[in-house]
Structure 1
Amino acid sequence: MSGCGMQMEGGKQLFAQASAVSIHTGNIVNWSRLKKKCPTSPSEELQDCIRETLEKWCSQVSPELLKEPPATLECTITQDVDSISPEEREEVKVSAKLFLSDPDSSGIKDAVKKACSALAVSQLDSVIIAPPPLEDGASLSLSHLQPYWEELETLVQSQSIVAIGTSDLDKVLLEQLYQWAQVKPSSNQVNLASCCVMPPELTAFAKEYDIQLLTHSDPKELIPMLSFQEAVIASIQDNLAYEWITKWVLRYSVIVKSRGIIKSKGYLVYAKRIRY
């Protein structure tokens, strides 16, 4: 068996034994494969990124790693990581959107910590939260949102995040959150697929309380469980891929302030194995 084949088998072995996996795509801005394919949606882009990262990681598995397999795999391609130097930190803005797949709010702190570590920064300039989709098509309420917001507030107070924002809140819920929260939302994303024009009452409220309204095209669930499992199968050929479920996805962008261009963009994904 060739060296590459042996490494691939090693990667499959590590996956079979792992109970959790943390994937960091690194900077995908210059990925030629993505540019050629032009993903049609944020979900397809993420699935492609996961598959590409796992394939690269699997081909570079260290024999030392096989001797003591970790419970949590750290799947990162070192040469693809574009960390921020102290000299350029003031020149860039680091923003992130955190998509939760699990009701447990404790993953928020872990996601922010991993993002700061990956980018070599002490804090993120802004984080927008996308709570997990509710079952049976139920609508998001303040009581559902509060645990996630409290976790974000703690991170603002510890100076891990500068500003925090929301996604897809209507005027009523945004106002409820604003009145209740200790740390006020600085932004609210609106999906223009659901409304072609910003609702006037939402626009008026946001203007009065200095909340920035942003647009986005993200689905409620950035990567469905089946799509993640398909990416694992395509890259690792893991026959037990159905045991993996995503807990959260963090998408970050590093923007050069003076020019308004994206210098770096990437994904962090955390998934756990559920034994049936």
Structure 2
Amino acid sequence: MGTDGGSASARLLLEQATTLNLQTGNLLNWGRLRKKCPASPSEEIRDCIQKTLNEWSLKISPDLNQEKPEVLECNVAQAMEKINPEEREELKVSAKLFIVRSNSSSVRDAVNMACSALGVAQLDSVIIAPPPIEDGINLSLEYLQPYWQELENLVQNEKIVAIGTSDLDKTLLEQLYLWAQVKPSSNQVNLASCCVMPPDLTAFAKEFDIQLLTHNDPKELLCEASFQEALQESIQNSQALEWTPLWLLRYSVIVKSRGIIKYKGYILQAKRNLSS
């Protein structure tokens, strides 16, 4: 928990700002975020958010309090690490984007922020998780199209090399493939809900050279309630502050020749509920 002074300054800034951009930096080089036992993806992201907020509140610049910016950049300086340009060709930079509550323009914002954070011109691959939909409504191609079009634009602008999907069944993956100008290169399957790859999905992916990957991310990696709890645990007397996460991006940088992760981190954007 931060000091009273740090928390008070952080709370004042959060009361004035409308947008919060939070970056964890490279988790592999930040010992305070390491756990002895592997955490679930949801536990890991909540832990990262809470401790990043806490560290940030301890080191707020007095100048920042005077400026009262509308957009707060929340990060821990010692954890931020850009990729060495001389090593770029040896590395594969991948990301998975989770839309929490936003629109398709978030795709562009998230990719641009990831490139800036890592100091690269483009990401090698981006997988998008299906945006949340209301209960009782089935995910459809029409719902996915605006998000996929944003990814296609980023491919055409050379900000991304390859794009993929997550948790699409054979029918929806086929619909997306036939409609899309830039075809999905991969589709993630959650083996927690499906112990064996569905044969029809496997056959379709093989025919059209789509890589099937596995993952263990929950359907809702970061919900509004979880983010609010992390905020309240990190910033004292912040109970009245209502913030909603818009999107969350998880990135990893792998050394191609050795298959080891060199960088891992999260970036998220949140908006303050001005009606609260």
Question: Counterpart of 1:239?
Answer: 239
Question: Counterpart of 2:56?
Answer: 57
Distance in 1 (alpha carbons) for counterparts of 2:143 and 2:201: 20
Distance in 2 (alpha carbons) for counterparts of 1:91 and 1:275: 45
Q: What's the TM-score, normalizing by structure 2?
A: 0.95
Question: Counterpart of 1:83?
Answer: 82
Q: How does 1:126-137 map to 2 (within 5 A)?
A: 126-137=125-136
Does structure 1 retain, via aligned residues, the 8 Å contact 2:26–2:79? yes
Question: Counterpart of 2:168?
Answer: 169
1:211-261: per-residue Cα shift (whole Å, max 9, x none)? 0000001112211110000000000121223x1111000000000000000
Does structure 2 retain, via aligned residues, the 8 Å contact 1:95–1:125? yes
State how many pairs are aligned: 273
Unaligned 5+ segments in structure 1 are none
Question: Counterpart of 1:230?
Answer: 229
Question: Counterpart of 2:194?
Answer: 195
Does structure 2 retain, via aligned residues, the 8 Å contact 1:163–1:186? yes
The question of 1:47 aligning with 2:46 is answered yes
- Classify 1:35/1:79 alpha carbon distance in 2 versus 1 (closer, same or farther; 3 Å): closer
Please tell me the root mean square deviation across aligned C-alpha atoms, in Å: 1.4
Query: SS where residue 173 of structure 1 aligns?
Result: helix
Q: What's the TM-score, normalizing by structure 1?
A: 0.95
Distance in 1 (alpha carbons) for counterparts of 2:34 and 2:109: 31
Does structure 1 retain, via aligned residues, the 8 Å contact 2:29–2:79? no
1:29-51: per-residue Cα shift (whole Å, max 9, x none)? 24434433535311110000000
The question of 1:117 aligning with 2:116 is answered yes
The question of 1:272 aligning with 2:251 is answered no
Measured after TM superposition, the shift of residue 131 of structure 1 is 2.7
What amino acid is the match of 1:73? L
Measured after TM superposition, the shift of residue 157 of structure 1 is 0.3
1:116-137: per-residue Cα shift (whole Å, max 9, x none)? 0000000000000113221114
Does structure 2 retain, via aligned residues, the 8 Å contact 1:16–1:240? no
Query: SS where residue 49 of structure 1 aligns?
Result: helix
Distance in 1 (alpha carbons) for counterparts of 2:38 and 2:225: 18
**Moved >4 Å (runs of 4+):** none
1:127-153: per-residue Cα shift (whole Å, max 9, x none)? 001132211142211111101000100
Measured after TM superposition, the shift of residue 101 of structure 1 is 1.3
Distance in 2 (alpha carbons) for counterparts of 1:267 and 1:97: 10
What amino acid is the match of 1:240? A
Distance in 1 (alpha carbons) for counterparts of 2:210 and 2:13: 46
Query: SS where residue 22 of structure 2 aligns?
Result: strand
Measured after TM superposition, the shift of residue 13 of structure 1 is 1.1
Distance in 1 (alpha carbons) for counterparts of 2:188 and 2:52: 29
